[in-house]
């Protein structure tokens, strides 16, 4: 506060004023003295924006620039009250977002590179607003890109990516300062003053698993020669949606079925039939892999190896793939006489004598021609 005293000398006083009790100048000034009131530097508050200054009171003229003049009253013992009003508002805030995926490897063909989050709010004019933010699924942090007034409630909604035949997306999980996650998979972020919290969005997946049945069938005239209870070794192997390798050894009974539980749907399963000892006079004649129902697709390059993909999860029983082996019986070959019956030996002897007699006739005819 400044003024000129009765001697014409300039005077200045600095006061620290509060918001509850008046602060006295501590000087008795002559009537008519013009005092200039100027507010000094306001305290730095990162969360506060200082706006207009209004100085008022009896005999006060506000200059509109943070200063005012007041004329000391000519009334005996009168005290002039000067009021300084500062308008302050909260600083705006913003936020950023980052997306994480768990339960499936990021390079899976059915994991999108980007997901969309819709941010919606009501502005200071009570008008609804919204914008979309594209988030990479590799965890890259993305700034919202705008400041919003303090206290604004922003509704965050992820546009759900499409489910895969191999997995389904769970409800989004949200976390961050000033954020409230809702049971329906959305979240509400309250904007803080001069803050920029990171909002994390986590998407987990649930693999679609089903049972795969391997059925063994035998055909051909050699099949009955196999002993009762014969089994055939088959190896089933696959890589799940997380990239983890699995291998299961099966012993499939002839005419029976073995079930492999918990096989991912939509993931290629390699089936390899291993060698097995067959009875004497029984030979492999052919191998065929076929789909036992329309939930399985069968493909492969060799007879012994097939790649099987379950294209859908069975609702009741296991999806079925059928391995059929064709077996041929090798006939017994006749011997040289050993072990022949008497009748068989007599027949062979008669045939030998006929052959010898035929030779003699030929020789005699030849001799006559030479004569």
- pLDDT per position as a tens digit, 55-99: 898 889 999 888 999 998 888 778 888 999 988 888 999 999 999
Distance of CA 135 to the CA centre of its chain: 13
Give me the residue label for tokens 């969360």.
Answer: 47
Distance, C-alpha 80 to centroid of its chain: 71
Q: Quote the pTM value.
A: 0.72
Tokens representing 289 are 């892999």
Which of 187, 207, 227 terminates a domain? The answer is: 207
Work out the number of other CB atoms within 10 angstroms of the CB of residue 282.
19
Write b or e for each residue in 189-227: b if 16 or more Cβ atoms lie within 10 A of its Cβ, otherwise e. Answer: bebbbbbebebbbebebebbbbbbbbbbebebebbeebe
What was the pLDDT predicted at 149?
95
**Is the model's pLDDT at 187 over the cut of 90?**
yes
Distance CA 336, CA 338 (A): 6
What span, in angstroms and rounded, lies between the C-alpha atoms of 4 and 36? 10
Other Cβ atoms less than 10 A from the Cβ of 266: the count is 19
State whether 235 and 313 are in the same domain. yes
Among 153-157, 205-209, 314-318, the minimum mean pLDDT is found in 314-318
115 in any annotated domain: yes
185 and 222, same domain (yes or no): no
Residue 345: CB partners within 8 Å, gap ≥ 6? 337
Summarize pLDDT for 336-368 with one digit per residue, the tens: 444 443 334 343 344 344 444 434 233 333 333
Which residue, of 155, 186, 207, is where some domain finishes? 207
Both 223 and 322 in one domain: the answer is yes
What is the residue range of 278's domain? 209-329
The answer on 256 and 163 residing in a single domain is: no
Residue finishing a domain among 90, 114, 148: 90
335 found inside a domain = no
Per-residue tokens: 327: 């077996």
Q: Answer yes or no: do 8 and 64 share one domain.
A: yes
CA angle 351, 352, 357 (to 5 degrees): 100
Q: Do 312 and 165 form a contact (C-beta atoms < 8 A)? A: yes
282 with 314, same domain: the answer is: yes
DSSP sequence for 27-79:
----TT-EEEEE--PPPP-TTEEEEEEEEE-TTEEE-SSSEEEEEPP-STT--
Q: What is the pLDDT of residue 366?
A: 31
Contact present, 199 and 95 (Cβ < 8 Å): yes
Q: Give the pLDDT confidence score for residue 257 in this predicted structure.
A: 95
Q: Where is pLDDT greater, at 370 or 76?
A: 76
The rounded percent of the chain whose pLDDT value lies above 90 is 49
Say if CB 94 and CB 141 are below 8 A apart. no
The CATH number of the domain where 223 resides is what?
2.60.40
Q: Tell the residue number behind the tokens 């809702």, with chain if given.
A: 182
Helix/strand/coil for 351: helix
Supply the mean pLDDT for the chain: 84
Whose tokens are 């097995």? That residue is 276
Are residue 194 and residue 255 in the same domain, yes or no?
no
Q: How many CA atoms lie within 13 A of 34 on its CB side?
A: 5
Residue 355 lies in a domain: no
| 324, two tokens | 């059929």
223 assigned to some structural domain: yes
pLDDT reported for residue 304: 60
pLDDT of residue 166: 93
- Does residue 177 surpass a pLDDT of 70? yes
What is the mean predicted confidence (pLDDT) over 217-240?
91
Q: Do 196 and 253 fall within a single domain?
A: no
pLDDT on residue 138: 95
- Residue 339, in any domain of the structure: no
| One domain, residues 191 and 263 | no
Higher pLDDT, 53 or 356: 53
**Do both 32 and 118 map to the same domain?**
no
How many Å apart are CA 103 and CA 98, to the nearest integer? 17
pLDDT at 303: 58
Q: Residue range 120-144: average pLDDT? A: 97
Q: pLDDT tens digits, residue range 307-337?
A: 777 767 776 678 889 998 899 998 865 554 4
Instruction: Please check whether residues 100 and 126 belong to one and the same domain.
Output: yes
DSSP 124-173: TTS-EEEEEEEEETT---EE--S-B-TT-EEEEEEEPPPPPSSEEEPPPE
Dig out the tokens for 79 from the structure: 């005290």
Query: End-to-end alpha-carbon separation of the chain, Å?
Result: 169
**Residue at 177 is within a domain:** yes
195 neighbors 154 (Cβ within 8 angstroms) = no
Name the least confident of 11-25, 118-132, 216-230, 341-355: 341-355
Query: What's the structural domain count of the chain?
Result: 3
Residue 351 lies in a domain: no
- Do 234 and 299 share a domain, yes or no? yes
| pLDDT value at residue 338 | 40
- 357 located within any domain: no
Which pLDDT belongs to residue 345?
37
Which band of pLDDT confidence, cut at 50, 70 and 90, is reported for residue 15?
A: confident
Structure tokens that stand for 220 in this block: 């051909």
pLDDT greater than 90 at residue 235? yes
């Amino acid at each position: 506060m400044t003024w000129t005293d009765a001697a014409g000398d300039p005077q200045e006083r600095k006061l620290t004023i509060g918001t509850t009790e008046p602060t006295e100048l501590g000087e008795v000034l002559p009537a008519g003295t013009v005092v200039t009131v100027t507010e000094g530097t306001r305290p730095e508050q990162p969360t506060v924006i200082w706006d207009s200054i209004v100085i008022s009171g009896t005999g006060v003229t506000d200059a509109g620039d943070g200063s005012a003049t007041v004329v000391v009253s000519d009334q005996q013992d009168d005290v002039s009250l000067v009021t300084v009003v500062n308008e302050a508002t909260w600083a705006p805030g913003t936020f950023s977002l980052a997306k994480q995926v768990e339960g499936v490897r990021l390079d899976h063909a059915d994991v999108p590179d980007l997901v969309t989050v819709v941010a919606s709010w009501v502005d200071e004019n009570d008008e609804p607003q919204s914008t979309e933010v594209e988030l990479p699924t590799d965890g890259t942090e993305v700034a919202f890109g705008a400041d919003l007034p303090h206290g604004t409630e922003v509704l965050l909604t992820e546009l759900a990516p499409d489910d895969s035949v191999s997995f389904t997306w769970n409800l989004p999980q949200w976390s961050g300062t000033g954020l409230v996650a809702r049971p329906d998979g959305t979240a509400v972020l309250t904007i803080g003053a001069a803050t920029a919290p990171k909002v994390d969005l986590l998407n987990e997946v649930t693999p679609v698993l089903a049972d795969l049945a391997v059925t063994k069938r035998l055909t051909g005239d050699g099949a009955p020669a196999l002993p009762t209870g014969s089994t055939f070794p088959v190896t089933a192997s696959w890589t799940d949606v997380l990239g983890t390798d699995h291998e299961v050894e099966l012993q499939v009974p002839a005419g029976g079925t073995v079930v492999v539980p918990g096989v991912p749907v939509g993931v290629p399963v390699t089936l390899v039939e291993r060698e097995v000892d067959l009875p004497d006079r029984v030979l492999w004649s052919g191998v065929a892999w076929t789909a036992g129902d329309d939930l399985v697709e069968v493909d492969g390059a060799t007879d012994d190896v097939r790649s099987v993909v379950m294209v859908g999860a069975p609702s009741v029983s296991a999806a079925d793939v059928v391995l059929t082996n064709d077996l041929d019986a090798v006939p017994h070959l006749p011997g040289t006489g050993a072990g022949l019956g008497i009748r068989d030996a007599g027949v062979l002897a008669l045939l030998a004598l006929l052959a010898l007699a035929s030779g003699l006739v030929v020789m005699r005819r030849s001799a006559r021609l030479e004569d």
